[in-house]
Structure 1
Amino acid sequence: MSDKIPLVLVDGSSYLYRAYHALPPLTNSKGMPTGAVKGVINMMRRLQKDYPQSTLVVVFDAKGKTFRDDMYSEYKANRPPMPDDLRLQIEPIHKIIKGMGLPMLIIDGVEADDVIGTLALQATAAKQPVVVSTGDKDIAQLVNEYITLVNTMTNSVLDRAGVIEKFGVPPELIIDYLALLGDKSDNIPGVPGVGEKTALGLLQGLGGLDAIYSRLEEVSGLEFRGAKNMAPKLQEHKDLAYLSYQLATIKTDVEMPQNISQLHNSPADEALLARLFNDMEFKTWVAELATAESPSARAISHASSPQSSPSLPEVEVLIVDIIKDYETVLTEDRLLAWVEKIKAADLVAVDTETTSLNYMVADLVGISIAVDAGKAAYIPFGHDYLGVPEQLSGDTVMAYFKPLLEDPSIKKVGQNLKYDMSIFAQHGVALQGIAFDTMLESYVLDSVATRHDMDSLANKYLGEQTIKFTDIAGKGVGQLTFNQISLELAGPYASEDADITLRLHRALWPKISAEPTLASVLTDIELPLIPILSRIERTGALVDDTLLFQQSQELSERIAELERQAWELAGQEFNLASPKQLGEILFTKLALPMLKKTAKGAPSTKEEVLQELALDYPLPKVLLEHRGLAKLKSTYTDKLPTMINPTTRRIHTSYHQAGTATGRLSSSDPNLQNIPVRTAEGRRVR
């Protein structure tokens, strides 16, 4: 294989449909569809990260018929017309790709595959390595010493051996394979009655199409089901077989406006991209452009936050080009290979992908692992969308992984491992060997320097923008759960989580270990607390919903009584929850002193104002009691019974070790620490 930087050829049309069907139907505030745009451009950005020095050439199908339609009028006739909401997204996709400075080719009369094939063979003649990024199996016929495929499902590379492993035949027989089998997506007929096993039996037993038809008398002796009756079928449909061969053959002599030596990336037009991203309302990408560093910058120094400890040095971020080798594991032999990598690793990053942030109800969809910088895998077993590729079963994965996860000698690092520990526990795995947690490492190093989520930490300490969950799942009511996300998007996202976690640890731990007191806080306090808090959370708090319901009824009566008192003191009925009406009553009708104003100049009715007024006036005192009881009722006596887990009959909160600047624990969903203790009613809830 050549040491030259590879040329990357991107099948844009393949990406277009994959992105459209993989992402939820996203729109901007103007109603413009944006899902396919986001998906396609996200894939382009990923390729730019993976091949930072390569020229990326993006090829799309042209409108209208091709030479294959002249050969066979039914070619692709089974495909429905392009959806209107997808058609609207083509122009912005093209504009953004041009704005990114990527060469884009659309050649009339041929398909994107043919343009890619022509460029790939030009590169082969020049001994130039080529990576073809596509989801189209036809292009496997091009693979040779210089041409490899990026498998967009697993984000791994298919060379000659990979093609043989995937299809059962070498690249030079892929056309013959498609000629026999046909291709439903393109309406290539193939030979009726020939399925995958029959096609492989013929090709592996006799060779290509010409060899098969010259040795038809030998077909009956082959070892596949139906071999005895196959020769007459082949003879009957010989014309269809050779027509299919022609239709499946990628044209490699397309007349091109430019050859490979003339194709180069150009500097990105950031002003154009900012305008287009703004139109699409891709806020994260707009923010990235606004804060982008010069491409030549190799290190970024971030000044400490004004709230940071003055004894801590500025954080230097070394930007390192990482070759990312991410894999989505779909077979048992690849799972075994990763098991061996885990056993051999000094430290393993572990992350779970689930259907919910609620550890008590979440289903485990897959596990991601990283063993070295850039080397990570996602093992899915719970994706269940229509058309999902065959995955390993959860039982198979856990049979191999449970002993590894429970082995204390295999050291693990994670990002918020308490959540993963609880998820594993819910699925019968007692996670052991927790050596580090990057969320806690960041928190111990500087609790106020940044948020401690992985995306923020990757940006601060690695200078890297990660794939956001909303990039692959969408937002709002249409947001997908992880089991609904296509493997081609889920794999890189999940693998990156584990990879970034391992790299964050390598960036953070040297800074912490240089300060013995910080290292002690992490290793002697925070890390040992993880399993304790996980167990407390999963055990839950026993709640008497009958008593809470009774107290809620009593609170309703008292709140209604206070409302009547307030109306009497005000001399009229009004909405006690309306700041505007309350301000009019207090400061206009009753002429109470105005102590503070809001940002818009209206009288403030905040709690501290009412507390001061209550020292001298009766209505504010009634209002304060009304507010306190109404909040207690809505937040606790009404809500807590609805949060009781139907299985355990307990409430399960989440405790946060990195949620405050002072080092204390906090809790949420529900916040059990915030139940009032100064009032009798609050103490009753506790």
Structure 2
Amino acid sequence: MNSPYAVVLIDASGYLFRAYHALPKLTNSQGEATGALIGVLNMLRKLIDETAPEYIGVVFDAPGPTFRDALYPDYKAQRPPMPDELREQLEPLKAIIRAMGLPLLEIPEVEADDVIGTLATRAADQGLSTLISTGDKDMAQLVDARITLINTMSGTVLDPEGVKAKFGVPPARIIDYLSLMGDSSDNIPGVPKCGPKTAVKWIEQYGDLDGVISHAEAIKGKVGEHLRAALDQLPLARQLTTIKRDVELELAPTDLRPSEPDRETLRSWYERIESKRLLATLNGDAGTRTGGAAGTEHAGAAGSAAGGLEGGLFGDLAVGGPLGSAGAADENGGGSSTTGEHGLGQPQWPTAAAPQQPEADYQTILAQAEFDDWLELLRQAELIAFDTETNALDYMRAEIVGVSVAVSAHQAAYIPLAHDYPGAPDQLDREQVLSALKPLLEDAERPKLGQNLKFDMSVCARAGIELRGLAHDSMLQSYVLDSTATRHDMDSLAKKYLDEETITFETIAGKGAKQLTFDQIPLETAAPYAAEDADITLRLHRTLWPRIEALPGLTRVYREIEMPLVPVLSRIERTGVRVDVDELKAQSRDLAERAAELEERAYAEAGSRFNMGSPKQIGAIFFEQLKLPVVAKTPKGAPSTSEAVLEKLAEDGYELPRLILEHRGVTKLRSTYTDKLPLMVHPETGRVHTSYHQAVAATGRLSSSDPNLQNIPIRSEAGRRIRRAFVPEPGFRMLAADYSQIELRIMAHLSGDERLLAAFAAGQDIHRATAAEILSLQPEEVTGEQRRSAKAINFGLIYGMSAFGLARQLGIERQEAQDYVDAYFARYPGVRAFMDKTREQARQDRYVETLFGRRLYLTNIGHSNHQLRSAAERTAINAPMQGTAADIIKRAMIQVDAWIRREQPPVRMIMQVHDELVFEVAEGATQASSEQICALMQDAAELAVPLLVEAGVGDNWEEAH
């Protein structure tokens, strides 16, 4: 398969059961079951080799009941428990998948189907094409223009047309179809004697399940009687059959980026399970079979029977005699070696003894004497691991429920202060404990360590404590060490760097609407969880910090940029920004009117009413009714109606695609900002408080959420109008300071190109100067259209835009665009040399660096898939510029914050958006403050060209920008 899919989601539990039932019961020389394990790994490897996705999720069913069991106690009640020989293969399989660098998900209280449904829907909403690997027919309900199913057992691929051909109904009616038939494998009741043909006939006749129910009296014969008898249970069947698409997940599809495999761990596991085929993949010779006379891996009757499966259902699954068994003895003539060739001990099977860890010593502090002892330990400690437990995730509303601390590995204490549930024990007085801790926490000379200390700092501030001495943050250590290696939450870090499964919050608090707040959780479970937080944080620090210290560039980024930024961001978040609620409500009304107007114009253009969110209906109108040109096709060959296709058709002058795009933009602005922002105003401050995230964007840029300030459009009038609703306090004005063309200036610095350097040094309009260079004109002769083309080239090239992409953006022929690119590089040879050198360096080192030493690792830079390799090469060019720009504005924020705290001017830093800082400044201080802020921002880095900052002042953000 030459895959166009950006996201691949794998129903791993389904894989495991299918492999178990399809394969003979294979074992290694130690008698441990391996058949299902090897089968799944080969299916996984084959799928990944064929699809090479950018994002991948391997999803397992979590142990324990789900919400469906609560709805219907007999759900799957007839299923036998998992066989022991299958169960013993489950944890090794998960360990190997993690070592492969594949994101693995298990979400309590929902099934793997629901997790996959949520991720696939989110991916589709982001315009990402998704392939779901499953044999579960229920998944057909998820299929649409961006979501496709593949059954790895049969090789069947289902797009919307394929679903209709297979089941007789489209994806939107699969739930109705399954509800009517019921599902004996899941024990879901349906209509007795209603098979596929009857279900399809009813749906075609009456439209959907509700239509069938409303016409039940009209259906004759015995099957009609069965239907009427089942009417009460059909709504339940529909609930049980419907895959959730709104599971509360802490990660997005774009978080599912695979990391580099741990080859040593994989080698150890593959030797343990005695799979020559998988071992061969580590040696780069996966196509070569080795082993006994039959070329098999497992000996005996099972191996002989399984040999016939090669090249069949499981592709290249090799089976036969074990390494070190009869017919394949090791050089010592015995069984498998207990040590791999790199001297690593073999991975432990669940039944074997796990590596010994010191027993954790976690204390729950309920007595004053115990607290006094720990207080003395903290006073003597060189480094204090500190964490707060709160009753809310919102730092502006969270109250401290308890505090956990650690000063040595495997030893920690939890001090509960406000647990409030029936039977809760007496706890130490909250105010007295915080008062006793305050001198320690506010002492800048006593180093503190935490995981996401910014949250703890903000929570402490609400309790009247200014947390100082922020020395280390394990989240930021992981992020600086390798931003793309893993997610940077504590559970993920503990698994990756300590190989430990931590107690998750969902485990002790539950999920969804019934989730407990921390103050409601009994101390028997709350205390070990909280103490573990401090202990794991300390142990992560001891693992990660030496790795950072070994690299001076990363040490500088961590010490001089990321850690000093933590208190700056905390202060910005707590200050918040004022919004004009009445203005936003007025904008919402206007946007609603505009959306309705666009709908009517679209209906008139189409000649009929249609669902503007339905790709299928849009496709029928575009290509069957209006005969618009087919710009691109889906993987199955149907005309595509993707966002890119709509944009291309709109550029070509077709009105309906333009109207649909504008309608989507208007409705998104309304739902995301004008309707939502008024609801986010804090009742105490009257302001909106975003959350900035340091450890998300791979390049070092900050992101924000609740609200996402980075995504407010600047190019559209409606987007700019939203910025007008961001206003200062009475007596203040908005000041916005923005770096001018910072990434182009960084390109000039990094490339050292003489003409670029000269243009910036002379203060020229760089786009006009570029147009003059490549067209051999004087700058004053350059037209506005020529400057626009040069601007597209300047920015396009740093983002790796091809001549094809440039032609499309400028609306010109590809050859003309190529001529522009050739002329650009002819006039700026230093830029080309820099790009070539950077690509080569990235291929050798597998990472690139910013000016300040931040690294971005490029796992796909040597990938055999051209698409992935090309994307990594584009990233190699762009990341040093984006990352350096991110480092510069972070350094600027630190310097400006230091000036504000030192000089106490009437200035508040309230937002950071892309290359811009936004302030509230007292009306009489705007001129002096503007000059000082611009000077500090321009002083944040020394480049070979001037750093230029442009500042504006206004009565709202849009006016100041």
TM-score (ref. length: structure 1): 0.56
In structure 1, the residue matched to 2:662 is 625
Match of 1:651, SS state, is coil
In structure 1, the residue matched to 2:598 is 562
In structure 2, the residue matched to 1:434 is 470
Q: Which of 569, 573, 587 is matched with 2:623 structurally?
A: 587
| Structure 1 residue 593: Cα displacement | 2.3
1:598–1:368 Cα change, 3 Å: farther
In structure 1, the residue matched to 2:714 is 677
Distance, in Å, in 2 between the alignment partners of 1:582 and 1:426 is: 52
Is 1:608 aligned to residue 644 of structure 2?
yes
Distance, in Å, in 1 between the alignment partners of 2:599 and 2:578 is: 33
Q: Partner amino acid for 2:640?
A: S
Is 1:28 aligned to residue 66 of structure 2?
yes
1:428–1:293 Cα change, 3 Å: farther
Distance, in Å, in 1 between the alignment partners of 2:71 and 2:534 is: 32
Distance, in Å, in 1 between the alignment partners of 2:442 and 2:645 is: 55
In structure 1, the residue matched to 2:694 is 657
| Structure 1 residue 513: Cα displacement | 0.6
Q: Please say if residues 385 and 486 of structure 1, whose CA atoms lie closer than 8 Å, have aligned partners that are also in contact.
A: yes
Q: Partner amino acid for 2:435?
A: A
| Structure 1 residue 615: Cα displacement | 1.9
Q: Please say if residues 412 and 436 of structure 1, whose CA atoms lie closer than 8 Å, have aligned partners that are also in contact.
A: yes
| Structure 1 residue 27: Cα displacement | 3.1
| Structure 1 residue 30: Cα displacement | 4.8
Q: Partner amino acid for 1:651?
A: V
Is 1:462 aligned to residue 280 of structure 2?
no
1:380–1:539 Cα change, 3 Å: same
Q: Please say if residues 352 and 366 of structure 1, whose CA atoms lie closer than 8 Å, have aligned partners that are also in contact.
A: yes
* Alignment RMSD: 3.7
Match of 1:624, SS state, is helix
Is 1:409 aligned to residue 445 of structure 2?
yes
Matches within 5 A, 1:567-582: 567-582=603-618
Match of 1:655, SS state, is strand
Q: Please say if residues 439 and 658 of structure 1, whose CA atoms lie closer than 8 Å, have aligned partners that are also in contact.
A: yes
In structure 2, the residue matched to 1:239 is none
| Structure 1 residue 281: Cα displacement | 7.2
Q: Partner amino acid for 1:545?
A: V
| Structure 1 residue 32: Cα displacement | 6.6
Q: Please say if residues 67 and 110 of structure 2, whose CA atoms lie closer than 8 Å, have aligned partners that are also in contact.
A: no
1:531–1:600 Cα change, 3 Å: farther
1:360–1:598 Cα change, 3 Å: farther
1:372–1:283 Cα change, 3 Å: farther
Match of 1:371, SS state, is strand
Matches within 5 A, 1:59-138: none
Match of 1:483, SS state, is helix
Q: Please say if residues 349 and 413 of structure 1, whose CA atoms lie closer than 8 Å, have aligned partners that are also in contact.
A: yes
Output one character per residue of 1:82-137: Cα deviation in whole Å (capped at 9) or x when no partner: xx99xx9xxx9xx99x97xxxxxxxxxxxxxxxxxxxxxxxxxxxxxxxxxxxxxx
Q: Partner amino acid for 1:424?
A: C
Q: Which of 511, 534, 540 is matched with 1:498 structurally?
A: 534
Q: Partner amino acid for 1:353?
A: E
In structure 2, the residue matched to 1:158 is none
Match of 1:369, SS state, is strand
Is 1:395 aligned to residue 213 of structure 2?
no
Q: Percent identity?
A: 55
Is 1:451 aligned to residue 478 of structure 2?
no
Q: Partner amino acid for 1:591?
A: K
Q: Which of 396, 410, 416 is matched with 1:360 structurally?
A: 396
Mark the runs of 5 or more structure 1 residues left unpaired by the alignment: 1-25, 35-83, 100-266, 285-289, 298-302, 305-313
| Structure 1 residue 589: Cα displacement | 1.4
Output one character per residue of 1:503-561: Cα deviation in whole Å (capped at 9) or x when no partner: 00000110101111110100001111000000000000110111111111111111111
Q: Which of 547, 550, 557 is matched with 1:511 structurally?
A: 547
Q: Which of 534, 542, 546 is matched with 2:578 structurally?
A: 542
Q: Partner amino acid for 1:360?
A: M
In structure 1, the residue matched to 2:357 is 321
Is 1:270 aligned to residue 85 of structure 2?
no
Q: Please say if residues 108 and 506 of structure 2, whose CA atoms lie closer than 8 Å, have aligned partners that are also in contact.
A: no
| Structure 1 residue 283: Cα displacement | 8.1
Distance, in Å, in 1 between the alignment partners of 2:107 and 2:443 is: 51
Match of 2:412, SS state, is strand
Q: Which of 367, 370, 381 is matched with 2:417 structurally?
A: 381
Output one character per residue of 1:218-264: Cα deviation in whole Å (capped at 9) or x when no partner: xxxxxxxxxxxxxxxxxxxxxxxxxxxxxxxxxxxxxxxxxxxxxxx
Q: Which of 400, 425, 433 is matched with 2:461 structurally?
A: 425
In structure 2, the residue matched to 1:371 is 407
Distance, in Å, in 1 between the alignment partners of 2:395 and 2:356 is: 35
Distance, in Å, in 2 between the alignment partners of 1:360 and 1:563 is: 40
| Structure 1 residue 596: Cα displacement | 3.1
Q: Partner amino acid for 2:517?
A: T
Q: Please say if residues 109 and 511 of structure 2, whose CA atoms lie closer than 8 Å, have aligned partners that are also in contact.
A: no
Distance, in Å, in 2 between the alignment partners of 1:33 and 1:371 is: 46
In structure 1, the residue matched to 2:524 is 488
Q: Please say if residues 27 and 33 of structure 1, whose CA atoms lie closer than 8 Å, have aligned partners that are also in contact.
A: no
Matches within 5 A, 1:179-328: 270-271=88-89, 321-328=357-364
Distance, in Å, in 1 between the alignment partners of 2:646 and 2:668 is: 16
Q: Partner amino acid for 2:585?
A: F
Output one character per residue of 1:362-412: Cα deviation in whole Å (capped at 9) or x when no partner: 121111101100110111111111111111121121121111111112111
In structure 1, the residue matched to 2:825 is none
1:560–1:526 Cα change, 3 Å: same
Q: Partner amino acid for 1:667?
A: S
1:561–1:648 Cα change, 3 Å: same
The size of the alignment, in residue pairs, is: 418
Distance, in Å, in 2 between the alignment partners of 1:352 and 1:280 is: 24
| Structure 1 residue 476: Cα displacement | 1.8
Match of 1:459, SS state, is helix
Q: Partner amino acid for 1:453?
A: D
Q: Please say if residues 365 and 371 of structure 2, whose CA atoms lie closer than 8 Å, have aligned partners that are also in contact.
A: yes
Q: Partner amino acid for 2:643?
A: E
Distance, in Å, in 1 between the alignment partners of 2:398 and 2:638 is: 46
Distance, in Å, in 1 between the alignment partners of 2:503 and 2:357 is: 17
Match of 2:459, SS state, is helix
Match of 1:398, SS state, is helix
Match of 1:401, SS state, is helix
Distance, in Å, in 2 between the alignment partners of 1:283 and 1:618 is: 43
| Structure 1 residue 271: Cα displacement | 4.6
Is 1:527 aligned to residue 345 of structure 2?
no
| Structure 1 residue 677: Cα displacement | 0.5
Q: Please say if residues 446 and 469 of structure 2, whose CA atoms lie closer than 8 Å, have aligned partners that are also in contact.
A: yes
In structure 2, the residue matched to 1:311 is none
Q: Partner amino acid for 2:667?
A: A
| Structure 1 residue 269: Cα displacement | 6.3
Q: Partner amino acid for 1:357?
A: L
In structure 2, the residue matched to 1:666 is 703
Is 1:641 aligned to residue 459 of structure 2?
no
Output one character per residue of 1:199-222: Cα deviation in whole Å (capped at 9) or x when no partner: xxxxxxxxxxxxxxxxxxxxxxxx
Q: Partner amino acid for 1:532?
A: V
Distance, in Å, in 2 between the alignment partners of 1:274 and 1:531 is: 42
Match of 2:358, SS state, is coil
| Structure 1 residue 641: Cα displacement | 0.6
TM-score (ref. length: structure 2): 0.41
